[in-house]
Amino acid sequence: MGDTSAAFLSEQEVLIRDSARKVAAEVVAPTAAERDRTCAWPRGELKAVAELGFLGMLIPEEYGGSGSSSSFVDYCLAIEEFAAADAGFATLIHVHNTMAGMLAKVGSEEQKRRYLPALASGEKIGATLFTEPHAGSDTAAFRTTARREESHYVVNGSKQFISNGSEAGVAFVLAVTDKTAGRNGMSLLLAEPSEPGYIVARIEHKLGQRSAHVAQIQLENCRVPIENLVGDEGGGYKLVMSLLSEGRVAIGAVAVGTARAALEAAVRYAREREAYGAPIIKLQGVAFDLADMATQVEVARQFMIHAARLCEAGIPCAKEASMAKLFASEMAEKVCSDALQIHGGYGYVNDFPVERYYRDVRVTKIYEGTSHIQKLIISRGLV
């Protein structure tokens, strides 16, 4: 299939995209099915992409990253390419980069110099401990507390569905430091999982994206040094909310990449599979389904890039970011389902990758805010 979208990308954007496409095809894709089967953490694959700078795309060069020479659009294009090879791999490097990018934006100089080089090199993997078991998207209901005690905060609580939580070397923790202040009583802390009190209670068994480990984390008298407070005490909620748009656009990129892979697999199969004396792509019903799928993927990609450019320019775009995630994730589930259908019975077995794409893409409608949450944000933007 032709790539007309490259005409609207800069030379650098094409270069970054093609570099990500190459390493994804050569390093990530060949092991994706086996990692899905065994739920294996991709250590070797992470090392390979770290060497090319993809774990430090949102980190400035002065701290060991490649962020000074790459943009947020570059980043989303790379995420799309990794998702086309393995959506779980794309998710885990997105979570890592999100954590690192947040630290680069809001951390103190000392915090950045202490943690960012190790995050850029992949020596440490980043995680964000925000979601709680009983709260979900209702951040006002968070119960994890951080009590100041001399030179430390003592953190207690449970965090749920934490991507990279079991493998992290450094993590953001959102905790309540003032129970009387509501959302203005939440603070953002940098915790080191190697310290006592950070307990991986369980690693979840998931429908898809199985190599992207998701954990329940118990914080039991976990001590975090005072100097690991990020920003002002009580300012954690605002810091986290201010960075959500970028995360939602990137999940749109994960959805687009997975859907594109499913579309490409369906086209290949339809060209090769014969029925009634000809390849099934000659059948109007199949051809029209593929035409619809290709249209949806391209529309989602173009709006994802548009939203990424708004983020990059610093233009407030909560509505557009939610639109990008909502449309891309809903589209991707349908495209992956249609790709499976075109494969017929073979699509339902794991000899063909569309079965994995179908499972992997479902969560894009859930994480970084469910589809209903995105609709709520969009509707508020209209008002």
Give residue 297's pLDDT. 98
pLDDT digits (tens, 9 = 90+) for 64-87: 999 877 799 999 999 999 999 999
Burial degree of 282 (CB within 10 A; 0-12, 13-18, 19+): middle
Say which of 167, 333, 355, 368 is annotated catalytic. 368
pLDDT band at 135 (very low <50, low <70, confident <90, very high): confident
Across 194-223, b (16+ Cβ under 10 Å) vs e yields eeebbebeebeebebbbbbbbbbbbbeebb
Q: What is the mean pLDDT of residues 135-142?
A: 73
Per-residue pLDDT tens over the stretch 242-291: 888 999 999 999 999 999 999 999 999 999 999 999 999 999 999 999 99
Average pLDDT for 348-356: 97
Percent of the chain with pLDDT over 70: 97
Judged against a pLDDT cut of 80, whether residue 55 lies above it is answered with: yes
- DSSP string over 205-226: --SS-TTS-EEEEEEEEEEEEG
Q: Which among 374, 370, 325 is positioned nearest to 131, based on CA atoms? A: 370
Virtual torsion, Cα 27, 309, 357, 343, nearest 10 deg: -110
Strands of the chain, DSSP E: 126-129, 145-149, 152-163, 170-176, 186-191, 198-203, 214-225, 229-230, 274-275, 278-279
Residues present in the chain in total: 383
Whether 322 has a pLDDT exceeding 70, the answer reads yes
CA distances from 160 to 124, 142, 277 (A): 21, 11, 53
SS3 30: helix
Give mean pLDDT, residues 95-123.
97
Predicted confidence band at 134 (pLDDT cuts at 50, 70, 90)? confident
% of the chain surpassing 90 pLDDT = 93
Tell me the per-residue pLDDT of 186-216, one tens digit each, with 9 for 90 and over: 999 999 999 999 999 999 999 999 999 999 9
Write down the pLDDT at residue 67.
80
Contacts of 69 (CB under 8 A, 6+ apart): 12, 61
**Phi-psi category of residue 224: left, alpha or beta, with phi > 0 → left and psi -120 to 50 → alpha:** beta
**Distance between CA 67 and CA 80 in Å, rounded?**
18
Res 9: pLDDT: 94
pLDDT digits 0-9 by tens, 212-238: 999 999 999 999 999 999 999 999 999
- How is the chain split among helix, strand and coil, in percent rounded to 5? 60, 15, 25
Q: Is 256 helix (H, G, I), strand (E, B) or coil?
A: helix
Average pLDDT over the chain, rounded to whole? 95
Cβ–Cβ < 8 Å for 27, 49? yes
* Contacts (Cβ under 8 Å, ≥6 apart) of 142: 132, 135, 157, 174, 175, 176, 186
3 pLDDT above the threshold of 70? no
Query: Which amino acid, residue 270?
Result: A
CA–centroid distance for 343 within its chain: 28
| 2, pLDDT greater than 60 | no
Is residue 1 over pLDDT 60?
no
Q: Which two tokens stand for residue 37?
A: 């089967």
Host H or E run for residue 342: helix 318-342
Strand partners, 149: 152
pLDDT above 60 (res 153)? yes
274 annotated active-site: no
